[in-house]
Structure 1
Amino acid sequence: MHQVVATPQDEKFAIVRQGERKALHIPRAYYNEVASAVTERSPVPGWLIDAAEAAWGLRLSGQPSDTAILVRPLTTLNFSRATYEINQGCNFGCEHCFLPDRKFMGLSGEEKGHLLTLLRDAGVLWLQFTGGEPTIDPDFHAAYRTAYDMGMLLEILTNGSRLHHPAVINLLTSLPPHKITVSLYGATAESFDALTQRAGSFKAVMKGITAAKEAGIPLEITLIITKYSAHEVEAMRELADRYGVSRKEYGTISPTYKGGNEPLATQAEDWVNRSSVFAGCPAGHRFFHVDPHGWATMCKIGRENPVNLMSEGLSGLARLPGIADSQMLRSGGCAGCRLSKTCRVCRPLAKVYQEAKAPLRTYCQHGMKEATK
């Protein structure tokens, strides 16, 4: 098993170690030297031996390059990140979910392996597994291992309910992720289980977070604030801090990506439209999303004009930047808006709010002005 990964990255080059946050930025000449050393099965270059020990306390001296280093290929595409919605099925029934359907379906195990190869060849270094709940997909473990073996830095966006399972713990300790992000829906079983519509969900998630923390798996907790939990936000913060993990807060509830308004009923009034100003996004240019069937789109929300990776391959991804640019145009109800530079939502997200006939104040500054009159 490789110890470090040499990789192109955003037209630059880096040495990374999976499960570690530090990275070594290197010139192309050093990348070429490492690639040649691996091909020729020669010793690890001296400069890398010194740098790896200084950065990670890792000793590569005496190791052959072809076993110590994985060299990721050069690519003509400029993508570096992707999210893979491995399955939309979930063991929770959260009222605020942006997925219109949570069906258990998607690619076969073999097809998932082919898809991951395409992502690697597109340049994807950071890969987020998401769902639904990714850990319940029957092929999740195999897909995770495949992506890890390809040198990707992996994140799992999870509800945390399966993190205590021995097979999951063993996977994540033997092949460490970049991080695991757990969604926290409340500080009590009453509020938590009300949103998930599953009795015992709070208990399962707390058990999962505890097990992952004790195993030394890098965690981040996202506090999801809804009408069920708004009264206990401080307790949610204290719960996350008790585990000594970083946390983020998310209180703006959106419609489904198809424009369904059902999730909006869970919005906490005091948390309406608290997002920061939208300052641009690399979606479709350096980042993209893939659904369970292998369709690539600019992001999780902007799913118009998808590219079928399984039939078109990498050539299809070359069309994504143009598709993304067209979806980002301030058209429809946002055409000519003089407040667009300080808007809190991108155009694709504004469109799903509009399709859901959401109150203007939930996503638009014009609505906020009207609400204060």
Structure 2
Amino acid sequence: MHDLIVSPFLDGFLCLRPGSAAGLRLPSEGYEALKALSGTDAPAPEWFSAYVADTWALDLRDKPVKDSLLIREPSNYGFSKASWEINLGCNFACTHCYLGLKEFAGLSWEEKVKLLDIMHDAGVVWLQITGGEPTIDKHFQDAYRYAYSLGMMLTVSTNASRLWEKSLLAMFDECPAYRLVVSVYGASEESFDQLTQRRGAWKSFKRGLDAAREANLPVRLNIIVTNDNAHETDAMIALADEWGLKHHVFSNMTPTIYGGPESLLAQSSSHLRERKAFSGCNAGVTFFHADPHAKVSICKVGRDDQIDLMAEGLEGLRRLPGISDKLMLRTGGCEGCQLSGTCRVCRPLAKQFQEAKAPLINYCQHGQPKEKVIA
């Protein structure tokens, strides 16, 4: 298996090591020199070996390029990142979940391979595999290994409940992840099990997280704050610090992907945070999202006008930038708003809140006291 990935990335070239957050930018001539050696028994150039040794303490001297480097070809599609809901099914039933009804359904193995091949050919280097709970999908490990073999840097979003399994730990040892993002739903068994609506959820979370920490896996924590566990916010942060893990506190709830308001009932009003002004993003341009049936959208939020990759194939992705431009327009209840220059939500997210008939305070500056609104 490869030690390093050499790949085009947007307008440049990168050298990456699975399991590491570090990377090297390469000049075009450097990429071309390495590409010319792809699949050969020749050693890497001395200049490259020196950079690699300085960055990762990895010795490439006298090691054939074919055994150490996976060198990816340029893509004409311009995408670099993607996320994939491998399956919406989950072993928890969290009260705040934006997925709504979490059905166990998705692609066959052959279709999963086809989807990953399309992502690879589209230029995707960073891939987030999520769910539901991805580790309970029957093809998760095979899909993860296949994506790894294609030269992708992999992030897995998980509730950690299965991370203690030997087969998973062996997979992450053989095919290191870029990151494991673990959700935290409480600082005690009582609150954790209450929010997830699963007895024993805390114990399975702790067992998995302890195993991941012992294996030195690259774990980051998402601390989820809702009405059920808001009283334990400081305790959850203290646990993250005790475990020595970086964390992000997530407290703003969103409607379900079907436009339902039920997930908003979990919002802790005292923890509703002001968002930064939305200044645009690359959704649908350099990034896309695939649901369990390979229906592709510009992102997890803007799911209108999905493209069926199983039917349209790689060429279907060429339509995404146009879809993105259309979805980002201020229309409906936001058309002509005088506060659009400082609006803190993108149009697809605002549309979700509007369809859910959510209070303005949840997403719109018109719901704030006038002294806080900046025109």
Q: Same fold per TM (> 0.5)? A: yes
The residue that corresponds to 1:116 in the other structure is: 116
- 5 Å-filtered alignment, 1:311-322, equals 311-322=311-322
Equivalent residues of 2:100, 2:263 under 8 A apart: no
Worse-matched range after superposition: 165-174 or 136-145: 165-174
The Cα shift of 1:83 comes to: 0.3
Equivalent residues of 1:273, 1:361 under 8 A apart: no
Equivalent residues of 1:133, 1:158 under 8 A apart: yes
CA distance in 2, matches of 1:81, 1:50: 29
CA distance in 2, matches of 1:120, 1:49: 26
Aligned CA RMSD, in angstroms, stands at 1.5
CA distance in 1, matches of 2:185, 2:334: 32
TM-score normalized by the length of structure 1: 0.97
Deviations 1:165-191 (A, max 9, x none): 111111112211011000111111221
The Cα shift of 1:276 comes to: 2.9
Equivalent residues of 1:252, 1:275 under 8 A apart: no
The Cα shift of 1:330 comes to: 0.8
- Note closer, same or farther for the CA distance 1:203–1:40 as it changes in structure 2 (3 Å cut): closer
SS at match of 2:103: coil
The residue that corresponds to 1:208 in the other structure is: 208
Paired letter, 2:240:
A
CA distance in 2, matches of 1:176, 1:3: 10
Equivalent residues of 1:88, 1:132 under 8 A apart: yes
SS at match of 1:305: coil
CA distance in 2, matches of 1:341, 1:220: 33
The Cα shift of 1:273 comes to: 4.2
- 5 Å-filtered alignment, 1:139-288, equals 139-288=139-288
Aligned length, in residue pairs: 373
The residue that corresponds to 2:126 in the other structure is: 126
Deviations 1:63-113 (A, max 9, x none): 111121111111001111000100000000111111122111111112111
SS at match of 1:183: strand
The Cα shift of 1:23 comes to: 0.8
The Cα shift of 1:209 comes to: 1.1
Deviations 1:335-362 (A, max 9, x none): 1112222222111011011001111111
The residue that corresponds to 2:27 in the other structure is: 27
The residue that corresponds to 1:337 in the other structure is: 337
SS at match of 2:368: helix
SS at match of 1:234: helix
Equivalent residues of 2:43, 2:60 under 8 A apart: no
Paired letter, 1:346:
C
CA distance in 2, matches of 1:80, 1:244: 30
CA distance in 1, matches of 2:40, 2:361: 62
Is 1:106 aligned with 2:80? no
Paired letter, 2:227:
K
Equivalent residues of 2:18, 2:153 under 8 A apart: yes
Is 1:60 aligned with 2:60? yes
Stretches of structure 2 that go unaligned for 5 or more consecutive residues are none
The Cα shift of 1:193 comes to: 1.1
The Cα shift of 1:39 comes to: 4.4
The Cα shift of 1:48 comes to: 1.3
Deviations 1:3-52 (A, max 9, x none): 11110001201111111111111111111111111244422111111111
Worse-matched range after superposition: 266-275 or 16-25: 266-275
CA distance in 1, matches of 2:261, 2:170: 40
Paired letter, 2:37:
A
Equivalent residues of 2:40, 2:64 under 8 A apart: no
Equivalent residues of 1:251, 1:267 under 8 A apart: yes
Equivalent residues of 2:159, 2:205 under 8 A apart: yes
Worse-matched range after superposition: 297-306 or 265-274: 265-274
SS at match of 1:319: helix
The residue that corresponds to 1:325 in the other structure is: 325
Worse-matched range after superposition: 243-252 or 340-349: 340-349
SS at match of 1:38: coil
CA distance in 2, matches of 1:23, 1:283: 23
Worse-matched range after superposition: 107-116 or 138-147: 107-116
The Cα shift of 1:127 comes to: 0.3
Is 1:355 aligned with 2:364? no
Worse-matched range after superposition: 98-107 or 337-346: 337-346
Paired letter, 2:181:
T
CA distance in 1, matches of 2:162, 2:70: 30
SS at match of 1:128: strand
- Note closer, same or farther for the CA distance 1:50–1:2 as it changes in structure 2 (3 Å cut): same
Percent identity between matched residues is 46
CA distance in 2, matches of 1:291, 1:372: 38
Deviations 1:191-244 (A, max 9, x none): 111111001111111111111011010010011100011111100100111110
Stretches of structure 1 that go unaligned for 5 or more consecutive residues are none
CA distance in 2, matches of 1:40, 1:234: 54
CA distance in 1, matches of 2:73, 2:107: 25
The Cα shift of 1:370 comes to: 7.0
